[in-house]
Structure 1
């Protein structure tokens, strides 16, 4: 059997992810249209659900279902990996409903959407660990979850947000560690020390912070700085990896 190439896998995935019927959504009452959208959501038929919900949103933008349609669209876009559309719908919903009773859920979904942007299809497919890729989406997600806990400490989503913040903190710390290691390999000793200190300052309770001490030890040794070298070794003894 022929081996699948990466380009073939990408093509298959893009086709399956973007496949949609050319069916025209029937002109039926909004209650029936909403019911079919809900059925599609419950079945996990995200593309069908999105078609129905978008039709409702365009045909009846100020109807009885308008707010819930937008909330459902946020969820369906997220599940279908249409992350830019999910983010745009979140922005629109917040603009139109600044004090909505489900504002905590919308903020939680913003965190999930940003978090999902910090992944790659190929990385997931081949289980590739790339801590050195730009973590800006993770930074935004961390801020979203932090804001959720500050504004809505009793939210149903607070517990999950806390757990995700731990994961994100480690993700961001690993990125800083990768940057410090890069400077070590380039023999940029001062830059490596600065990056390691930044990591230890912002993410002190992570494994990456402990690992960065070894990089600092190398840099101080190369620079011939005896006093900070001894201090770093003391810290390494107190914080074994």
Structure 2
């Protein structure tokens, strides 16, 4: 009887051992199968992206991420989904994916690229500075994040360049509104718009005109001292510009006439000099 009990115990141990090995083997097969599924989904995404089917590509990249969210490749799959949408101008979808990425992977090593692509998605939606103000603001905000947090990356150089272009766009909007108010004799709103350019966009191409417009507005409403102040500032910074000449002509009504007379005289002298120079070459 004792020997029978020992035999039964031995058989049970063998059965449990074989079962545990079988379970381990099944787990290993399952794990490998999962990794294979992720790899296949990612590859299908790449192929679809190369073929121009960006919606299917994004779907497969999302699938690769969802199948194995703990995998090292999961963040890359999420980024590729966003990039797929971006390549065919599905900006809203790309932005949604990138914002989700920032929440799910807040410490990822490629955050500089994420903010850059996010900024570009907003930037490329700018069509009209009078209508697309929110896209302009969002683009500038994300480009500034790159300059602040990732100044040594390759994206920082283009971010700085894009911000200069955005400032030109914002200054253009202020100039448009300033002229609009000026034409309708709404002096205070016009002054505020031109001052906005001087205060916040003084490095743009609209700074000279904004100073001249301030001279013009103040001169028109009889604030001569204020007009002279802005004229001096314009002359100090842009003495050779057409806007300085326009401002100067407000104070000197004979300026335009004398300017034309000087031009005629210069033209005559210049013509003789050119002829004389030509004879030296013959």
Q: What range is the shorter-chain TM-score in?
A: 0.7 to 0.9
Question: 1:25 corresponds to which residue?
Answer: none
Question: 1:214 corresponds to which residue?
Answer: 212
Give the distance between the partners of 1:134 and 1:156, measured in 2 at CA. 27
Report if aligned partners of 1:142, 1:165 keep a CA contact under 8 Å in 2. Answer: yes
Given the two structures, how large is their TM-score scaled by the length of structure 1? Answer: 0.76
Give the distance between the partners of 2:137 and 2:143, measured in 1 at CA. 10
Give the distance between the partners of 1:134 and 1:214, measured in 2 at CA. 27
The 5-angstrom pairing of residues 105-120 of structure 1 reads 105-119=113-127
The Cα shift of 1:234 comes to: 2.1
Give the distance between the partners of 1:149 and 1:102, measured in 2 at CA. 15
Q: Pairwise CA RMSD of aligned residues?
A: 2.0
The structure where helix makes up a greater share of residues is: 2
Per the alignment, in what secondary structure is the counterpart of residue 37 of structure 1?
Answer: helix
The Cα shift of 1:134 comes to: 3.9
Question: How many residues of Structure 1 are paired with residues of Structure 2 in the alignment?
Answer: 203
Question: 1:196 corresponds to which residue?
Answer: 194
The Cα shift of 1:149 comes to: 1.2
Higher RCO (CA < 8 A, seq sep 6+): 1
Give the distance between the partners of 1:174 and 1:132, measured in 2 at CA. 9
Give the distance between the partners of 2:53 and 2:161, measured in 1 at CA. 29
Query: Does the alignment pair 1:173 with 2:180?
Result: no
The 5-angstrom pairing of residues 21-60 of structure 1 reads 29-57=37-65, 60=67
1:104 counterpart (82, 106, 112): 112
The Cα shift of 1:105 comes to: 0.6
The Cα shift of 1:215 comes to: 2.0
Give the distance between the partners of 1:186 and 1:135, measured in 2 at CA. 24
Report if aligned partners of 1:173, 1:206 keep a CA contact under 8 Å in 2. Answer: yes
Unaligned 5+ segments in structure 1 are 1-27, 120-129
The 5-angstrom pairing of residues 1-241 of structure 1 reads 29-57=37-65, 60=67, 62=69, 64=71, 65-119=73-127, 130-237=128-235, 238-239=237-238, 240=241
The Cα shift of 1:41 comes to: 2.9
Deviating above 6 A after TM superposition, structure 1's stretches of 4 or more consecutive aligned residues are none
Per the alignment, in what secondary structure is the counterpart of residue 207 of structure 1?
Answer: coil
**For the pair shown, which has the larger CA radius of gyration, 1 or 2?**
2
Q: What are the Cα deviations for residues 184-212 of structure 1, in whole angstroms up to 9, with x where unaligned?
A: 12211111111111111001111112111
The Cα shift of 1:180 comes to: 1.0
